[in-house]
Structure 1
Amino acid sequence: MPAVSKILSRRDLDFLLYEWLDVEALTANERFADHSRDTFDAFLDVSAQIAERDFAPHNRRSDLEEPTFDGVRVSVIPEVAAALKVFNETGLLSATMDESVGGLQLPHVVARACFVWFQAANLATSSYSLLTAGNASLLLTYGSPSQIDRFVRPMLQGRFTGTMCLSEPQAGSALADVTTKATPAGDGTYRVTGSKMWISGGDHELSETIVHLVLARAAGAPPGVKGLSLFIVPKHHIEADGTVGERNGVSLAGLNHKMGYRGTTNAVLSFDDATGYLVGEEGKGLAYMFHMMNEARIGVGSGAVALGYTGFLHALDYARSREQGRPVADKDPSAPAVPIVRHPDVRRMLLASKSYVEGGLALILYASKLLDEPSEENDLLLDVLTPIVKAWPSQWCRLANDHAIQVHGGYGYTREYPVEQFYRDNRLNSIHEGTDGIQGLDLLGRKVVMRGGAGLQLLIGRIVTTAVAAPAELGQPVIALCDRLAATTRKLWAAGDPTSALANSTAYLEATGHLVIAWLWLAQLNAADGKEGAFYDGKRLAARYFITHELPRIGPLLDLLDSGDTLLADMDDAVLG
């Protein structure tokens, strides 16, 4: 790995993990007792090495030579399989899982820090592993011992890959409208028939088979989401002894051709009397699937941060090396040109990007650590934070990619530099695993009001505790906005009318997300207190920037919410043209 990577900052990761989150203290927990900072560092080192050597070099090729389907099989460039083989050999696919299934029992926060390296180096290739790990985690929680032996262990060995199959062409995100059917076969299995759309990793030749987790409606089930059950439907039949048999009734109807993220196959799948295995109980499919969906939402936020971060590092490197123009006060045309990093507007974009990507990285690591310290409070806080973890980086770390293109100028808009691909790849993150609009509805419609608003009170309490310990000129504006957010939330729900309360839920999501990132910048500021050097000065400057330049965006959003405006709920779409 080069001394200074343009993929990710190891120095920033070390600060966040050890100086702020104190992950070394997790080794006092019996689950992590076999680990130490040395083992954490070893996994971080190998992640960085493999990301640089095996993932990053084919990122451009997998974009230019996207997967193809010849009517029989899907072809993917060979570097993808080679990189996944190396990744699987590290054991990181089962990093957080129990030793009894071959897992490493790493803390989630350390495993997440490792995986960000792969997402930043090559989001498309890493997504196959992300999906497989999420699939396996769900089945370890809800699957039967025989299902774990038949499907999970081969996934964790790297033999099988996994997907999640929710959306359908006619339903999209409206899962209540799922029509895929599952009929009991009389032998303990089901026959699954229907069509699934937008299935990432849905077909390829990268593994011996693919384990699909499919939401379907069992015979006689009621309409709506309460009638959904979850089924394992493998691409091939898996015999009792674990060998891969003949093709199951799962076929590829076609590949979707995407704006970015092209190296990951995205499929339309047809299930025609395919053999499926019920997971858990009938009618609980969506509840089970949320286990994987919530992991995937954190993974999406992590991927958005990763792309924004590598884009920022590429832009910073370019701005320091590209000489163009002179300071505005220098009127001598014969004076040498200066690096563009010296121009205030370039500095604006770089500092804004730094605040987004380092704030976003803090967010996903904080959320991951909550998983390592389960408690009633931490579980509740993670519920509240999950829509923000998914949506905030997908919007603001993508803006860092936009800034990276702008810093490069005309070169940024060409394919000669990678920043345009980072932007295209990142654009998907506001869409999949629940759009920003869905996350806004989830946050305001469910998470901040459940249990009498206990989750919002908990979040605000933790923000205030951090803000009180920060310099008053930065902490007090955050405390004031906490009070205002609480008051706005009460006002929105005072009448108990969901239509009016949720009319501007996306604005609420954006405001709350910015407040959360301000909190995490104050936390980093507190962790850097009294420490000297350019790195810590950078943390202090970015924290000050975010709170003085970015946090004020919340004001107009809360003004809109306080106004009770229902224009978007009331409008007649005929006026749109």
Structure 2
Amino acid sequence: MSLRPTLDFLLYDWLDAAALNGRARFADHSRETFDAVLDTCERIAREKYAPHNRTVDTQEPHFDGEKVVLPQATHDAHAAFVESGMLAAAQDYDIGGMQLPYTVQAAANAFFAKASVSIGSNMLTSGNANLLMVHGTELQKEVFALNEFSGRWAGTMCLSEPQAGSSLSDVATRAVPDGPDFESDPLGPRYRLTGHKMWISSGDHELTENIVHIVLAKIPDAEGKLVPGTRGISLFIVPKRMVDVQGQLTGERNDVALAGLNHKLGWRGTTNTLLNFGEGKYPVGGRAGAIGYLVGQPGKGLHCMFHMMNEARIAIGMAATMLGMAGYEASLAYAKQRPQGRPAGPAGKDAAKPQVRIIEHADVRRMLLAQKSYCEGSLALQLYCARLVDEQKTADASTADEARLLLEVLTPIAKSWPSEWCLEANSLAIQVHGGYGYTRDFPVEQYWRDNRLNMIHEGTHGIQAADLLGRKVLMEEGRGMALLAARIADTARRAAAVPSLAAHAKALGEALAQVGAATKAAWSTGDPKEALANAVPYMQAFGHTVLAWIWLDVAHRSLGGDPAASAPATVGRLAAASYFFHYELPTIGAWLNVVETRDPVCAQLPEEAF
């Protein structure tokens, strides 16, 4: 099977992406130009990425004492991606972009994630550059962001530290003014950074001539002390190699040193690094300290960084989705050709009859349909969020504001739900393969290993859950939650008029009410400790409700006014929706029960009892 028909349906029939061409920003485009972009990316992914997915898994990055060495296939794939112009696809014409809708860019990038997420689609580079386009000075945009969009330089995001993974308030990297005239540097106020960063994806490589690190660090107070908490955290541009105001390399290394490579369960083709800033290995101007240029205002680093983090979270959701989709396609192909067993008849099994293909067994079909419901539902969710990005940027003020709020509420789900349930799809793909799925003779074990990272990547499940229940559903007095509930209710109302969907519509309405009641009950005491003790079960139930809504909306559009639509793709989508409503949505009751009762068993168990 091919991803393309599913993408085309979701993009054009469900989300009506072609209608975006009626907006001034996208007026030069048409469905033909969108299709040309999808065709190009599909071809590059097929020719440059997919054939080398196993290569980059087995030939891990290594440091030869001078540089990080990657397989030639990675260099070739990166060059093809840069040549496609996809790094700047959604950017303005005047900086070399295509002014594509982000919805189309997200769909196009899906091909790369599916073909080889480990080679990647340079999401950190584009996210880094996008951050600078919003928060950087004009010269920072010109020197750093534009060189990233062109593919000449790469970008990273440096948050975590060995002693402070997700706890950003414990960041200990220091940034001190570089001399009395530090504010006069045209590239921005100039600081010297010292500290250590860990888990930095693409932190060192030779794919590009330079790497632009976006680094969180604290500026000490007047007494030279780091302020506790997140106050004082600022954001800095720290290039691997020093540059001038024309964006040319000066020939001098910045004081950023590779301290080591992490060897991971999955995503092995992407370098993951420990970096030392300011240790003196590469002194700049004869002194230790990595040169960093302040982005935005001092102490406002997290505000700027969240622009990149939210974009990265949605990209991780897409990566998880497409890894699940790759496993689904592989296990479907295997199930169609693998003979094993015989069906049971009234008189039992007839050993004299030939074996049947395993897709004819009900339990194998259950596992395949589960994968389809998880992965295609997730893909629809990711594209829906991408469409909200376009609404936020190009719609009228009221619609744009609604899109902003909806995106805030949905971002934790867009990241976390696929990273849990498309991973489950990968596990089911292994199960469909039986013992072979556990071997490297088939690709599904690698898909599972690659996908296992995504529950941790860009904020763990627990962090996403605390963000959702602790902040997103409450923000602006619950207006985002109310907007989402209204859209869910509207879908249920429309679907209720279709006999084959009426039961699903009723179930969705009941689920929405359960989530609303659990939200109120969780916060009924006003104690965050009690409310958030079961934040992950809350997020799981919330996510299942969102995915049920997505599936009902997709199913309603699939029928297109014809309740007897019988095209195989339509039948498949309707079956996946039914699977989700029959097998998945009913599970939310157990999750929400512990949320509503603020069950204390996990939070209050004495440590010694573990």
TM-score range, shorter chain: over 0.9
Counterpart Cα distance in 2 of 1:235 and 1:496: 47
Counterpart Cα distance in 2 of 1:574 and 1:167: 30
Quote the residue 2:100 is aligned against: 106
Counterpart Cα distance in 2 of 1:37 and 1:501: 47
1:567 aligns with 2:601: yes
Counterpart Cα distance in 2 of 1:467 and 1:326: 42
1:151 aligns with 2:180: no
Quote the residue 1:355 is aligned against: 373
1:549 aligns with 2:583: yes
Aligned with residue 223 of structure 1, among 221, 225, 228: 228
Q: Which range moved further: 474-483 or 216-225?
A: 216-225
The root-mean-square deviation of aligned C-alpha atoms, in Å, is 1.0
| Aligned-pair CA distance for 1:450 | 1.2
Quote the residue 2:514 is aligned against: 484
| Aligned-pair CA distance for 1:254 | 0.2
Residues matched between the structures, number: 569
1:88 aligns with 2:118: no
Aligned with residue 558 of structure 1, among 576, 582, 592: 592
Counterpart Cα distance in 2 of 1:264 and 1:76: 9
Aligned with residue 318 of structure 1, among 334, 337, 342: 334
Counterpart Cα distance in 2 of 1:473 and 1:154: 53
Paired residue secondary structure (1:268): strand
Counterpart Cα distance in 2 of 1:353 and 1:42: 29
Counterpart Cα distance in 2 of 1:546 and 1:271: 49
Letter in 2 for 1:171: A
Quote the residue 2:177 is aligned against: 184
Aligned with residue 319 of structure 2, among 303, 306, 312: 303
1:384 aligns with 2:379: no
Q: TM-score, normalised by structure 2?
A: 0.92
Quote the residue 2:155 is aligned against: 162
Counterpart Cα distance in 2 of 1:340 and 1:348: 12
Query: Any conservation in 1 of the 2:139–2:245 contact (CA below 8 Å)?
Result: no
Counterpart Cα distance in 2 of 1:154 and 1:454: 39
Query: Any conservation in 2 of the 1:184–1:219 contact (CA below 8 Å)?
Result: no
| Aligned-pair CA distance for 1:575 | 1.2
Quote the residue 2:472 is aligned against: 447
1:247 aligns with 2:253: yes
Counterpart Cα distance in 2 of 1:497 and 1:562: 13
Please list the CA deviations of residues 328-366 of structure 1 after superposition, one character each: whole Å capped at 9, or x if unmatched. Answer: 226221211111000011001000000000000000000
Paired residue secondary structure (1:485): helix
Aligned with residue 141 of structure 1, among 125, 128, 134: 134
Q: Which range moved further: 561-570 or 417-426?
A: 561-570
Please list the CA deviations of residues 223-250 of structure 1 after superposition, one character each: whole Å capped at 9, or x if unmatched. Answer: 2112100000000001233222211000
Counterpart Cα distance in 2 of 1:554 and 1:496: 23
Aligned with residue 240 of structure 2, among 235, 241, 258: 235
Query: Any conservation in 2 of the 1:182–1:219 contact (CA below 8 Å)?
Result: yes
Q: Which range moved further: 265-274 or 481-490?
A: 481-490
Please list the CA deviations of residues 195-214 of structure 1 after superposition, one character each: whole Å capped at 9, or x if unmatched. Answer: 00000000011110100000
Counterpart Cα distance in 1 of 2:518 and 2:163: 36
Aligned with residue 268 of structure 1, among 270, 274, 288: 274
Quote the residue 2:263 is aligned against: 257
Paired residue secondary structure (1:192): strand
1:528 aligns with 2:558: yes
Paired residue secondary structure (2:78): helix
Please list the CA deviations of residues 473-528 of structure 1 after superposition, one character each: whole Å capped at 9, or x if unmatched. Answer: 11001101111111111111111000000000000000000000000000111111
Paired residue secondary structure (1:504): helix
Counterpart Cα distance in 1 of 2:316 and 2:443: 20
Counterpart Cα distance in 2 of 1:564 and 1:276: 46
Letter in 1 for 2:378: G
Counterpart Cα distance in 1 of 2:38 and 2:82: 15
Counterpart Cα distance in 1 of 2:571 and 2:502: 18
Paired residue secondary structure (2:268): coil
The runs of at least 4 consecutive aligned structure 1 residues that moved more than 4 Å come to none
Counterpart Cα distance in 2 of 1:254 and 1:519: 45
| Aligned-pair CA distance for 1:296 | 0.2
Please list the CA deviations of residues 115-136 of structure 1 after superposition, one character each: whole Å capped at 9, or x if unmatched. Answer: 0100110101115x11100000
Please list the CA deviations of residues 411-450 of structure 1 after superposition, one character each: whole Å capped at 9, or x if unmatched. Answer: 1000111100000000000001000010000000000011
Paired residue secondary structure (1:438): helix
Counterpart Cα distance in 2 of 1:547 and 1:265: 40
| Aligned-pair CA distance for 1:533 | 0.6
1:426 aligns with 2:451: yes
Paired residue secondary structure (1:269): strand
Counterpart Cα distance in 2 of 1:255 and 1:574: 36
Counterpart Cα distance in 1 of 2:334 and 2:472: 42
| Aligned-pair CA distance for 1:388 | 0.3
Residue pairs, 1:42-57, within 5 angstroms? 42-57=36-51
1:287 aligns with 2:303: yes
Query: Any conservation in 2 of the 1:191–1:275 contact (CA below 8 Å)?
Result: yes
1:335 aligns with 2:328: no
| Aligned-pair CA distance for 1:70 | 2.5
Query: Any conservation in 2 of the 1:503–1:566 contact (CA below 8 Å)?
Result: yes
Structure 2 segments unaligned to the other structure (5+ residues): 184-189, 279-288, 393-399, 496-500
